[in-house]
Structure 1
Amino acid sequence: MRRPVPDPIRPGEESVWDYPRPPRAEPERERITIRLGGVLIADTVNAIRVLETSHPPVYYLPIASFVDGALIPAEGSSFCEFKGEAAYFDVHGGERVVPGAAWTYPRPARGFESLSGRVAVYAGDMDACTVGDEQVTPQPGRFYGGWITSRIRGPFKGAPGSMGW
C-alpha cells in the first residue's frame, strides 16, 4: 500500500509524517488533563509525548498525577516492538469505570526509559482529555492511543484502510 499524501501544514502545525520511526519520546510542558465520570482524574505539566510516523502524539503522564483510585491494575498485556511490554489499568472516575483504558510500560525498552512510572489513556474512553486549553480528538481506531489537537495534521493511521501504511 502506498504512503498517503500528508495534509498541508501551516506555521505552528506539525505533520505526523515528519515524526520518526522508530518513535521519539520528548517532554511536554503544556498542561494535560483527563476527566472521567464528571471529575478530574489527572492533571500535570510534566508529560512525555511519544511521536511516531503516521500517529498523533501519545501522552504519558506521571502515575502520581492521577487521583488516588483512578488506576486499578487490569488483566492482560501487549508488546510494542519499540517500547516493550505494556501492562493495563482499568480507569475509574466518578461513577464510571472503563476497563483496560490506560497502559504503562513497567520496564520500558532502551531509549524509552523516560516512560517508566508513566501512564497513557485512550482519549475516546474518557469524558475529556486536554492539551493546554484544547480538548483533544482521539486517534481513529482502538489499536492506537494518539491525541489529535488542531496543531497536528494527518492523515492518521487507525482509520479504515490505513493498517498497511
Structure 2
Amino acid sequence: MTEASTDRPIKVPGPHHPITVEPSSDRVTATVDGSTIADSTATLTLAEAGYPVVRYFPRADVEMSLLERTDHATYCPYKGDASYFTIRTGNALLKNAVWTYEQPHEALSEIADYVAFYSDRVEVVAAPTP
C-alpha cells in the first residue's frame, strides 16, 4: 500500500501480482491486551503476492465499539482506498491498527464490510472448527 494520492492507478490481480480471497470456517479471534476485539467463523483469507496472509473479519463479528475511526488513509492500486481505526481498550491505545476497504475495487469487492488487523499489534489466532 502507498499513501493516498491524486494519481491513482487501478490494477487487476493476475500472474504478475496474484491475490486470492477465500472464505474460512476456522474460528479466528483477534485480541489486544486480553480483550477480544473480534471472534468469527466467517473470515476471509487474503493472500497477496509475497505478503503475509491476512484475515479479514466481517464487521458483524468485530466489537466495533472499541474502534475509533481516524483520518489516516492509504491507497492500494489493487484494492482501493483504505480507511483506518484506532483500538481503544482499558489498557491499550493502538493507533491505526485496523484497516478496511469500504468500497474496494471491483476485482476484490468481497472484502467490503470486512476489517483487518495489523498482526504486529493485534494477536490474530486461527483454530479449525470441530
TM range, normalised to the smaller chain? 0.7 to 0.9
- Residue 95 of structure 1 and its aligned partner are, at CA, apart by 2.0
Judged with a 3 Å threshold, the aligned counterparts in structure 2 of structure 1 residues 79 and 44 are, in CA distance, closer, same or farther, namely same
Runs ≥4 in structure 1, deviation > 6 angstroms?
A: none
2:75 aligned with 1:91: no
**CA deviations over 1:102-132 (Å, ceiling 9, x no partner):** 0000101012111111000001112x22011
Structure ID, larger Rg: 1
Give the equivalent residue in structure 1 for 2:58: 62
For 1:48 and 1:20, the matched residues in 2 are separated by 22
Give the equivalent residue in structure 1 for 2:127: 132
**Partner secondary structure for residue 120 of structure 2:** helix
Give the equivalent residue in structure 1 for 2:6: none
**Partner secondary structure for residue 69 of structure 1:** helix
**Partner secondary structure for residue 106 of structure 2:** coil
For 1:64 and 1:71, the matched residues in 2 are separated by 13
**CA deviations over 1:7-57 (Å, ceiling 9, x no partner):** xxxxxxxxxxxx972311111111110111211111001011111121221
Q: Where in structure 1 are there 5+ consecutive unaligned residues?
A: 1-18, 134-165
**Partner secondary structure for residue 110 of structure 2:** helix
> Considering only aligned residues, what root-mean-square deviation do their CA atoms show, in Å?
1.7
For 2:16 and 2:54, the matched residues in 1 are separated by 14
Q: TM-score, normalization: structure 1?
A: 0.64
Q: TM-score, normalization: structure 2?
A: 0.80
Q: How many residues align?
A: 114
Q: Percent identity?
A: 27
Give the equivalent residue in structure 1 for 2:118: 122
